[in-house]
Structure 1
Amino acid sequence: MARTRSGHAQRVDPSLAATRRRPRSVIPTLADPITDYPTADKVPKTALFADGSRHEYRLEMIAILFKFVCERHAIQQRRLAGLAPPWTRDEWLQNYPFTNVFRVLDRNSQFILLRVIGDSPDNIQDAVFRVLLFRMFNKIETWELLEQHLGKITFQGFDTRAYCRIFETAGVTLYNAAYIIPAPKLGYNSNYENHLRLIEAMMNDGDLTGDLLQCKHIRDAHVRLLRWPSMGNFTAMQILLDLNMLSYFNWSEDEWVELGPGSKSCLRKIFPNLNVSAHAQEALRYLRDHQWSWYSTVGATQDQIPRLSAERPRGLSMVDIEHSLCECEKYSRGKLQHIPGPRTHVGKRRFAPRAGAPPTADVPAHWLAVRAPEDLPCPPPVEGKDVYEVECIVDEDRARYKVRWLGWGPEGDTWEPKEQVADGSPVLVDRWEESKQKVAESLQSRMRTATAKPKRKMAQRSSSLLTRAGRRLTL
């Protein structure tokens, strides 16, 4: 896979650390919202969202968010340049670990990009399989354990029994504590075997790869992935962001994002009266669209505004803002202790730089191309009147399908009664139901191969497993 190195990276040979004195960081000072806005929390401020709704916000909390993203990204840039610590004067950023502003620059994401994807055979099945396998465990050491025993990991060579034998005798923790994906209840004795069987179902007759290739937007892919057991809203989003580093997918990360619990908590701190369930996406769009004025508010120069690489424009996408909101919520527990939240401790452990190779800052090559606007041709009018034609079904609930209209993007999606859609677009309904049926049958076939259990209990478990969000997948 072609990869592009960030223009800011400068590798330092660790063996020279003891003999060569590295330059000290030159750390500019940004405005401090606490001292610059001592009464900000007492002055109501109102934000006008794009949907026309108005919401009060805490000025100092928004200022803290954008000061945080500037300083956290500056720390990463100073580390890449080989500067000696401390990389910041901020005591909270010095003493506690926070992820990067750009998710792709985090350690696990870089490992996925360079090792899981970068070393993958040049075909989509292997690439998707390897990403799913890594993310189920989300632990670099587990991936390296498999490579030690199996060599290059491929879908063609995937043997669940061989993998299980490796894990049975490993004697180490296989799972990372972050972004845990619960094991599906497919009837096996160990979590890892249930996870492996789930991957097997996804990659074989479940045809997850084919389903995702049909999706033009990440929110549509999110719905497809949620059909599978153990996929929570947030963890499914993380898997899709990993898959989006593959050249086979190129979903926009600036039109919609699923929020995690930390991001939602931070939004409530910023907009104290916000109904997050109803207005989270509009809140993110507001922060994205107005970020430039907030950079100015905290005293950031143009060069201090975060930038993923020299080939990309400065500023944050919706995915970047969601990622940063989660970390800023932790940061605000120390910096703005008077603002209430569900947790008060900044972190469980102190920050200590990892020994060994310096951090990397690679980005997927296909991210550097300018994204062409989506071509949305509308059907021609009939007798001078506009024609509305359903292009595809993108979601459902008990009584309705969510439909995408020909010539419109996701912002034009509407919920329509199932009977009405079935009458007008029976082929699309059949296609949608068939894709659900593939998932159900694939899971059922894996459950039949599980350790023998009483048939009644297995049937009950199957019925429970294949019911999701009020929608029963008919077997």
Structure 2
Amino acid sequence: MTPKLTTSIRSSRGAPISERTVADGLPGTRIPRRYVNADGVSLIGELPRSRVFDTYWRFAAARQSAYQRRLLGEVPPWTTDATIARYRFTNCYRATDRVSQFLIRHVAYCGPREPAQLVFRILLFKFFNRISTWGALEREFGTISLASFEPRSWAEYLLELSLTRPIYSAAYVIPQPAMGAARKASNHLLLLARMVEENLSDKLLSCGSMKEAFDLLRSYSGIGDFLAYQFVIDLNYSTVLDFSEMDFVVAGPGARDGIAKCFGAAAVRNASQIIRYMSESQDEHFARLGLRFDRLGGKRPLTLVDCQNLFCETDKYTRATHPEVNGLSRRTRIKQLFRPTGSIPEPWFPPKWGVNARK
């Protein structure tokens, strides 16, 4: 019979908060005491793990290998992993994904570069998070800048456009802010106008940490924890912000599912320090499992946002490979199939990272 392992989470005073059982019988993962959140909650002793914990690392290595082989122009299939070959998964590094690459190349490092212009352009793009919508706005109104921004006429154009094609990304839900308009796009443009009027760019420039910038974005209507974190990461690609991606992390719903599958549901309350542990111990676990993982540009490791994303992708991946292991949402189906659209261009990253290939 498979032995059961328990996860004991204690407060800084040592009082038990909760217990969960993970019935996989794998050795516990020792989480050092330094992984403590702002409430003083730490993981004491060993945090038991399910078989999904090692799957997390194996998936990361296989997914990164498939990305690298495709980037090198090899002919498909780019992986021997049947699940990765069949279904669509994001890349291990968030910045290498198609939409992030477009934002970095064509939004954050193209066009007007003053802080107010960059904040405006990046948030406009992120409210819709769809490359075709950005392209349509550029064709209709020219270079996207504060000088050409007119919420009413832009909203009318987007309403007309929405009758023939989607204008929002389907990657995740982008809630509607409460700005008083009848249409979602109108409300997002009105929110953007308010941000401009309130000199959001100056406020962001004065932030002393990524968490402070996150809280500032989080204070606006329709922007919850998940969106605020995504927005601050994208702004941090630009020259407006320059925080380390190891400063701060917020686990999204998918990542919490992945954490629950790896460590049990009780561990989710400590999601931030678990994600930090994964980032800081990645070399240890790739070596332990005999896995090759090629870093970004040969030197940039997986940061907090990347490990957060990998928990989300591990949740999806294990719906096929470990269907008996449930996450919090108990989702069982992977929705999107992988449909390659040809070769991918050489990626380009924020110059401050120092990882771009030399020409």
TM-score range, shorter chain: 0.7 to 0.9
What SS does the corresponding residue of 2:186 show, helix, strand or coil?
helix
Of residues 303, 308, 318 in structure 2, which corresponds to 1:332?
A: 318
Q: CA deviation at 1:190?
A: 1.0
Q: In structure 2, what is the Cα distance between the partners aligned to 1:354 and 1:118?
A: 25
Task: Tell me whether 1:216 sits opposite 2:199 in the alignment.
Answer: no
User: In the TM superposition, what whole-angstrom CA distance separates every residue of 1:168-218 from its partner, at most 9, and x where no partner exists?
Assistant: 3223221112233212122112111111000000011x1211111111211
Task: Tell me whether 1:193 sits opposite 2:179 in the alignment.
Answer: no
Q: 1:83 to 1:46 in 2, by over 3 A?
A: closer
Q: CA deviation at 1:340?
A: 2.0
1:121-270 aligned at under 5 Å gives the runs 121-170=112-161, 171=163, 172-204=165-197, 206-270=198-262
Alignment match, 1:352: 339
Q: In structure 1, what is the Cα distance between the partners aligned to 2:92 and 2:29?
A: 26
Task: Tell me whether 1:48 sits opposite 2:31 in the alignment.
Answer: yes
Q: In structure 1, what is the Cα distance between the partners aligned to 2:108 and 2:47?
A: 44
Q: In structure 2, what is the Cα distance between the partners aligned to 1:102 and 1:344?
A: 24
- The answer to whether the Cα contact below 8 Å between 1:120 and 1:130 also exists between their aligned partners in 2 is no
Q: Percent identity?
A: 32
- The answer to whether the Cα contact below 8 Å between 2:259 and 2:267 also exists between their aligned partners in 1 is no
- The answer to whether the Cα contact below 8 Å between 1:110 and 1:360 also exists between their aligned partners in 2 is no
- The answer to whether the Cα contact below 8 Å between 2:319 and 2:334 also exists between their aligned partners in 1 is no
Structure having the higher Rg: 1
Query: Could you tell me which amino acid in structure 1 is paired with residue 323 of structure 2?
Result: Q
Q: CA deviation at 1:334?
A: 1.3
Task: Tell me whether 1:274 sits opposite 2:303 in the alignment.
Answer: no
Q: In structure 2, what is the Cα distance between the partners aligned to 1:46 and 1:113?
A: 37
Query: Could you tell me which amino acid in structure 2 is paired with residue 233 of structure 1?
Result: D
Q: In structure 1, what is the Cα distance between the partners aligned to 2:294 and 2:228?
A: 26
- Deviating beyond 4 angstroms after TM superposition, the runs of 4 or more aligned structure 1 residues are none
Q: Which runs of 5+ in 1 are unaligned?
A: 1-39, 370-475
Equivalent residues, number: 322
Task: Tell me whether 1:366 sits opposite 2:359 in the alignment.
Answer: no
Measured on the aligned residues, the alpha-carbon RMSD in Å equals 1.8
Task: Tell me whether 1:95 sits opposite 2:86 in the alignment.
Answer: yes
- The answer to whether the Cα contact below 8 Å between 1:56 and 1:273 also exists between their aligned partners in 2 is no
What SS does the corresponding residue of 1:287 show, helix, strand or coil?
helix
Q: CA deviation at 1:235?
A: 0.8
Q: CA deviation at 1:346?
A: 4.2
User: In the TM superposition, what whole-angstrom CA distance separates every residue of 1:58-111 from its partner, at most 9, and x where no partner exists?
Assistant: 252221111111111111111110000000000000000000001010010011
TM-score normalised by length of structure 1: 0.65
Alignment match, 2:9: none
User: In the TM superposition, what whole-angstrom CA distance separates every residue of 1:360-404 from its partner, at most 9, and x where no partner exists?
Assistant: 4111001228xxxxxxxxxxxxxxxxxxxxxxxxxxxxxxxxxxx
Alignment match, 2:13: none
User: In the TM superposition, what whole-angstrom CA distance separates every residue of 1:278-318 from its partner, at most 9, and x where no partner exists?
Assistant: x2222122222222221023211xxx2231113x34x3111
Query: Could you tell me which amino acid in structure 2 is paired with residue 298 of structure 1?
Result: L
Q: In structure 2, what is the Cα distance between the partners aligned to 1:169 and 1:317?
A: 40
Q: In structure 2, what is the Cα distance between the partners aligned to 1:180 and 1:340?
A: 23
Query: Could you tell me which amino acid in structure 1 is paired with residue 25 of structure 2?
Result: K
